[in-house]
Amino acid sequence: MSIPISWYLLVAMILFGIGILAILTRRNVIVLFMGIELMLNGCNLTFLTFSRSYGNSVGHVSAFLVIAIAAAEAAIGLAITLAVFRHKGSVDVNEVRSLRG
Amino acid sequence: MEKVLFILFAGGAILSAVAVILPVIAPTPVHSALALVVTFLCLAGLYALLAAHVLAVLQVLVYAGAIMVLFLFVIMLLNLGQERTGPPRRATSRVLTSALAIALILLLTGQIFGALGSSVGFKSNPAVTNPGTGPDQCVATCLTREMGDHPRDKARKACQEECWESFGSLRSVGRLLFSEYLVPFELLSILLLIALPGALILAKKNLELPGTPEGQPSEGNES
Amino acid sequence: MVLGSIHIDTALVLVVLLPLIGAILNGLFGRFFSRRVVNLVAIGSVFASFLLTVGLFLSLRSSPGDGIHTISTTLFTWIHVGSLHIPASFQMDQLSAVMTLVVTGVGFLIHVYSTGYMADDPGYSRYFSYLNLFMFSMLVLVLGGNLAVLFVGWEGVGLCSYLLIGFWFTDEAKAVAGQKAFVTNRVGDLGFLIGMLMLLQMTQGSLDFDVIESSLGLKQQDTLNFVTLMFFVGAIGKSAQIPLYIWLPDAMAGPTPVSALIHAATMVTAGVYMVARLSFMFAMTPLTLALIAIVGGVTAIFAASIALTQRDIKKVLAYSTVSQLGFMFLALGVGAFSTAIFHLTTHAFFKACLFLGAGAVIHALHGEQDGFKMGGLKKHLPITRWTFLLATLAIAGLPPLAGFFSKDEILWSAFSHQHVQGYPMIQQIALGLGMVAALFTAFYMMRLYLLIFHGSYRGDDHHLEHLHKPSWGMKSALIILGALSLCGGFMGIPHGDLNVFAAWLAPMFSDTASLFKTTQEHSLEYVLMAVSTGIALIGVGIAWVSYKDGIGQLPKSLASRLPRLHGLLLDAYKVDALVELGIKRPFRGFARFCHRVLDTLLIDGLFVTGTARVVAGFGAVFRRIQTGDVQHYALLIVLGMTTLLYIAFI
């Protein structure tokens, strides 16, 4: 392998970090979800990198599962966003505060 | 050649990821969604470079093809325009949290490269840097092995194809999925089964539960 | 000897239990019984106890040998924990036989008397129930086979005293008097308990009298002193010595027969009995004995001096009781244990007679108790008058009545009896105190008699016209007790073989006899007899001269010339006021402090409310984490995740 895996891992890390930034910073719920997807993809990349380096396909299976779960989660999350939007009239994450202690 | 491709794909992924979150570049959610699609495509390329062929295809099919379409559907359903600007209602500022997140990333990155002198830094871990029993090794053995009477190119080509077939291909992943990882696979199908009606009900406009009077028209029916 | 078909052990138990059964029956069902049935149950049970006691006494008397004869029985094992073993046992020996005869005999007479005295009272059955309960407790005390059972009876008589003093509890003053008696008793009981517990430690688990006696041998003198002192404190409380006598005058708030029974004949003598029972222990501590003698003597004079000026006839008798008890303790203090018991017996006779006579007078005059408002009643209440006179002369100490012999023996013992390691000065002091007290006693008792029965009537004529004559029950009790006051002393004539009383009790105190010696010639006893008779005559004479026609010149002029002394004596040296200021007020203040500061502020405020406030405060602080903002939660998750990764991989 000519490309050291640390490069791949760095990319994955950066993607993960950008995902965290998105979650912590943006107010729009949709963009928040996008951030979550970014994080998941970063994890996927890590899985595949290590799978390639160890030489077996276990990482591929994990990545496969992650993709499927991400799909389900995105579906549910967006459904909830729809329901909340009908109640509150906005998708601003700061508006959803009724669980404030 | 590989390096060029890597830099292309990696750079594209990172740049478009940044585009997703920066309101300067992507003012509306639609812009963000499209940027995210580009990210996914670049990632698919990276997966291909890692010889994870089936996953590269799946990435394009599922992620870029299905999930992002779903995102776009919802965005259009909600008819969101510009994200509302204005002072956020919470106490901590965006700058602070951003700085915090970046610090976290740097910290973990430093871990990866052993910059903090950790004993688990990857540079010092031989097992990981060595490719091990990956397809490259297999190919290498193919090339050096004696093939007998058959013409060298054909046998070697078949051997190489065999090698590449044993890693990262649909056959190998499928074999694992249906043997060792059968239970998670089945559970996954159940999960999807649950998610389907769940999403249906959650997104329903007028939820008529048995025993309650006619569901009230939900608010927020504006456009 | 088997009493008919009843076995001796059963008889002993029945003596104690019959009054209890009477108490329970009358207590639970007395409301539904007729007067006759109540009387039958109450008086019958006591009379049966008395008969059984006589039988047991005769059986003891016919026992062979010279030593201590005992009838004992154990009902059940009361406490058995490790090495601690206390059975519920009863025993009758010579000493407790005497006591039981006095208790059941005099008790029976007072029960009979009460049928007349309490005839108009609505709480008739309750009264007899309490009275029977008292008899039971007193018998448990006297017949207790070990110190613990004795203590049960000790407390029981305290309880019954409270119940009976405060019998008319609707009157707050009377109820308070009952409470005062109980609380003061309790103070003394603390001493008893401490002594008992120390003995328990010495004997390592038993309180039987013989076990105690055998374990005292090698104990340190200081320890023994302390133990006997503690027991004496208990006796002070129960037998109304200084300083715990204050309850007895107030106890006159109860019905007069109660005063006769409890505060003359039986309960107050429990202390004397206890000391006599533990004589083997007291004989080893001459220091305590000296203290007992001094306290007894001082109490005798102190109380007698107060009685000189009192107007309430029951108060005179109350202080007289305190004084006579002082005499008994004087005798105990000089080691004359059987003499003390002898005086206890004769005192029971004449003091009960006096109280019952006073009761008859009060009953006749519809509740009048002020002697200054009486007079000339000898014409109207002849039997009462003669029995009262007999008892008065007996207590004054005129021969040949009962009190003469016993009091003379006390004075003689004070003069001549001495502990081998004793303090000789005690003899002289005790004798002097005793003689002055005897003089006072003769005087004030005669004064009392004359005030009630002689002279002209000074009270409300209305009462005189509707005089409530005593019933035959009352009269018969008076007559019997009067007769006993007359000839009861003959069993203790101090002349060798004729002194059957001392001979009967001698085996009980034979161990201790070696520790005492007689320091004077025996012939001096007759001299002393003459001297004490002379003192008595002087006292009686002065009283006769002063009061034979009502309140005479002499007392009046004395009172006017020494008003402060007179007032002081009349107010009983203002002891009650002292107690109020010195003890009660600080206690009440302390209680108020406990309530306001400790309870309300500290426990309620700090621990209860304070804990709640602390929890609420913590909650208020930690609640702030729940901002409701999703991104805050996400931040916390990220932080946590980073920390975990750091920790896991570093």
DSSP C36-49: HHHHHHHHHHHHHH
Residue C35, pLDDT > 80, answer yes
pLDDT classification of B146: cutoffs 50, 70, 90: low
User: Residue written as tokens 């890693």?
Assistant: B167
pLDDT classification of C524: cutoffs 50, 70, 90: confident
Residue A80, pLDDT > 50, answer yes
d(CA B65, CA B197): 21
What number is the average pLDDT over the span C629-641?
A: 85
- In this predicted structure, what is the pLDDT of residue B82? 57
- In this predicted structure, what is the pLDDT of residue C420? 72
d(CA C214, CA A19): 95
* In contact, C151 and C235? CB cutoff 8 Å: no
Residues in C closer than 8 angstroms to A99, CB to CB, are: 626, 628
Residue C387, pLDDT > 70, answer yes
Contacts of B18-24 with C-beta under 8 Å, sequence gap 24+, read: B18/A18, B20/A18, B20/A22, B20/A31, B20/A34, B20/A35, B20/A38, B21/A18, B21/A21, B21/A22, B21/A25, B21/A26, B21/A31, B21/A35, B23/A26, B23/B83
**A37: number of Cβ within 10 Å:** 23
Helix or strand holding residue C411 (H, E): helix C402-416
Residues in B closer than 8 angstroms to A96, CB to CB, are: none
Residue C213, pLDDT > 90, answer no
Residue B217, pLDDT > 60, answer no
- DSSP secondary structure code for residue C550 in this structure: B
- In this predicted structure, what is the pLDDT of residue B86? 53
Label residue C307 exposed, middle or buried (CB < 10 Å: 0-12, 13-18, 19+).
buried
Amino acid at B176: L
Q: Which residue of A has its CA nearest to B39?
A: A38
Residue B190 φ/ψ, nearest 5 degrees:
-65, -40
- In this predicted structure, what is the pLDDT of residue B130? 46
- In this predicted structure, what is the pLDDT of residue C272? 92
Q: Neighbouring chains of C at 3+ CB pairs within 8 Å?
A: A, B
End-to-end CA distance of chain C: 100
User: Using the beta-carbon criterion (under 8 Å), do B120 and C635 form an inter-chain contact?
Assistant: no
Q: What is the residue extent of each domain of chain B?
A: 1-81, 101-127
Contacts of C525 (CB under 8 A, 6+ apart): C412, C416, C494
Residue C3 φ/ψ, nearest 5 degrees:
-80, 95
User: Using the beta-carbon criterion (under 8 Å), do A23 and C631 form an inter-chain contact?
Assistant: yes
In chain B, % of residues over pLDDT 90: 34
User: Using the beta-carbon criterion (under 8 Å), do A101 and C628 form an inter-chain contact?
Assistant: yes
Pick among C618, C621, C630 to test the A interface (most A CBs inside 10 A): C630
pLDDT classification of B222: cutoffs 50, 70, 90: very low
- In this predicted structure, what is the pLDDT of residue C425? 80
Residue C650, pLDDT > 90, answer no
- In this predicted structure, what is the pLDDT of residue C482? 86
Contacts of B34-37 with C-beta under 8 Å, sequence gap 24+, read: B36/A34, B36/A37, B36/A38, B36/B68, B36/B71, B37/B64, B37/B68
- In this predicted structure, what is the pLDDT of residue A27? 82
Residues in B closer than 8 angstroms to A91, CB to CB, are: 78, 80
Q: What is the residue extent of each domain of chain A?
A: 28-88
Contacts of C259 (CB under 8 A, 6+ apart): C251, C252, C314, C317, C318, C355, C359
More confident call, C72 vs B110: C72
- In this predicted structure, what is the pLDDT of residue C437? 92
- In this predicted structure, what is the pLDDT of residue C189? 92
What number is the average pLDDT over the span C297-309?
A: 90
Q: Give me B81's structure tokens.
A: 């325009």
Q: Across the interface, which of B89, B100, B219 has its CB nearest the CB of A86? A: B219
Residue B220, pLDDT > 50, answer no
Of the CATH numbers 3.40.50.2020, 1.10.287.3510, 3.40.50.720, 3.40.50.1820, which one belongs to the domain with range A28-88?
Answer: 1.10.287.3510
d(CA C219, CA C632): 80
* In contact, C166 and C178? CB cutoff 8 Å: yes
pLDDT classification of A90: cutoffs 50, 70, 90: confident
- In this predicted structure, what is the pLDDT of residue C171? 87
Q: Give me C361's structure tokens.
A: 């007078």
A94 shares contact with chain B (CB less than 8 Å): yes
Per-residue buried b or exposed e for B13-52, using 16+ beta carbons within 10 Å of the residue's own CB? bbebbbbbbbbeebebbbbbbbbbbbbbbbbbbbbbbbbb
- In this predicted structure, what is the pLDDT of residue B215? 45
What number is the average pLDDT over the span C361-381?
A: 84
Pick among C629, C636, C637, C639 to test the A interface (most A CBs inside 10 A): C629
Amino acid at C464: L
pLDDT classification of A66: cutoffs 50, 70, 90: very high
In chain C, % of residues over pLDDT 90: 28
- In this predicted structure, what is the pLDDT of residue B211? 66
Contacts of C18 (CB under 8 A, 6+ apart): C45, C46, C48, C49, C52
d(CA C488, CA C406): 10
Nearest to C57 by CA among C89, C15, C18: C15
Residue C75, pLDDT > 90, answer no
* B vs C: CB pairs below 8 A: 23
Residue C418 φ/ψ, nearest 5 degrees:
-145, 145
Would you call C245 helix, strand, or coil by DSSP? coil
Q: Using one digit for the tens of pLDDT, what is the confidence trace for C44-63? A: 999 999 999 998 888 888 88
User: Residue written as tokens 């159940």?
Assistant: B190
Q: Across the interface, which of A3, A48, A76 has its CB nearest the CB of B199? A: A76
Q: Across the interface, which of A5, A25, A64 has its CB nearest the CB of B55? A: A64
- In this predicted structure, what is the pLDDT of residue B116? 40
User: Using the beta-carbon criterion (under 8 Å), do B2 and A78 form an inter-chain contact?
Assistant: no
Prior bond of B210 cis (ω within 30°):
no
What number is the average pLDDT over the span B173-198?
A: 93
- In this predicted structure, what is the pLDDT of residue B117? 41
Where is mean pLDDT largest: B219-223, C202-206, C295-299?
C295-299
Residues in C closer than 8 angstroms to A32, CB to CB, are: 630
* In contact, B142 and B160? CB cutoff 8 Å: yes
pLDDT classification of B26: cutoffs 50, 70, 90: confident
User: Using the beta-carbon criterion (under 8 Å), do B167 and A5 form an inter-chain contact?
Assistant: no
C77 beta partners: C87
More confident call, C350 vs C578: C350
What number is the average pLDDT over the span A81-101?
A: 81
- In this predicted structure, what is the pLDDT of residue A38? 95
Pick among A1, A5, A88 to test the B interface (most B CBs inside 10 A): A1
Q: Of B21-30, B93-102, C98-107, C542-551, give the lowest mean pLDDT range.
A: B93-102
Q: Using one digit for the tens of pLDDT, what is the confidence trace for B185-195? A: 999 999 999 99
Give the relative orientation of helices B94-112 and C630-649 as an angle to the nearest 10 degrees. Answer: 20
What number is the average pLDDT over the span C519-524?
A: 77
User: Using the beta-carbon criterion (under 8 Å), do A24 and C625 form an inter-chain contact?
Assistant: no
Task: For chain A, positions 32-51, list CB contacts with chain B under 8 A.
Answer: 33-35, 37-38, 41, 44-45, 48-51
- In this predicted structure, what is the pLDDT of residue B223? 38
Q: Is C97 left (phi over 0), alpha (psi -120 to 50) or beta?
A: alpha
Helix or strand holding residue C516 (H, E): strand C516-518
Residue C167, pLDDT > 60, answer yes
Q: Across the interface, which of A5, A57, A78 has its CB nearest the CB of B70? A: A78
- In this predicted structure, what is the pLDDT of residue B118? 44
* A vs C: CB pairs below 8 A: 32
pLDDT classification of C606: cutoffs 50, 70, 90: confident
* In contact, C350 and C395? CB cutoff 8 Å: yes
- In this predicted structure, what is the pLDDT of residue B219? 44
More confident call, C373 vs A65: A65
Q: Using one digit for the tens of pLDDT, what is the confidence trace for B61-117? A: 999 999 999 999 999 888 766 555 555 555 556 777 778 777 877 777 777 666 444
Tell me the whole-structure pTM to 2 decimals: 0.69
pLDDT classification of C469: cutoffs 50, 70, 90: confident
- In this predicted structure, what is the pLDDT of residue C6? 67
* In contact, C341 and C272? CB cutoff 8 Å: yes
Q: Give me A67's structure tokens.
A: 């993709």
- In this predicted structure, what is the pLDDT of residue C10? 84
Contacts of C172-178 with C-beta under 8 Å, sequence gap 24+, read: C173/C253, C174/C253, C174/C254, C176/C250, C177/C247, C177/C250, C177/C251, C177/C252, C177/C253, C177/C254, C178/C251, C178/C253, C178/C254
Helices marked H in C334-378 — which ranges?
A: 337-364
- In this predicted structure, what is the pLDDT of residue B101? 75
Q: Give me C22's structure tokens.
A: 């009477």
- In this predicted structure, what is the pLDDT of residue B120? 44
What number is the average pLDDT over the span C476-488?
A: 85
* In contact, C386 and C393? CB cutoff 8 Å: no
Q: Neighbouring chains of B at 3+ CB pairs within 8 Å?
A: A, C
Pick among A52, A56, A58, A90 to test the B interface (most B CBs inside 10 A): A52
What number is the average pLDDT over the span C367-379?
A: 83
More confident call, B149 vs B173: B173
pLDDT classification of C323: cutoffs 50, 70, 90: very high
Residue C497, pLDDT > 70, answer no
Helix or strand holding residue A82 (H, E): helix A58-88
Contacts of C215 (CB under 8 A, 6+ apart): C202, C203, C204
Q: Across the interface, which of C642, C649, C650 has its CB nearest the CB of B104? A: C642
Nearest to C348 by CA among C118, C101, C164: C101
Of the CATH numbers 3.30.465.10, 3.90.230.10, 3.20.20.70, 1.20.120.1200, which one belongs to the domain with range B1-81?
Answer: 1.20.120.1200
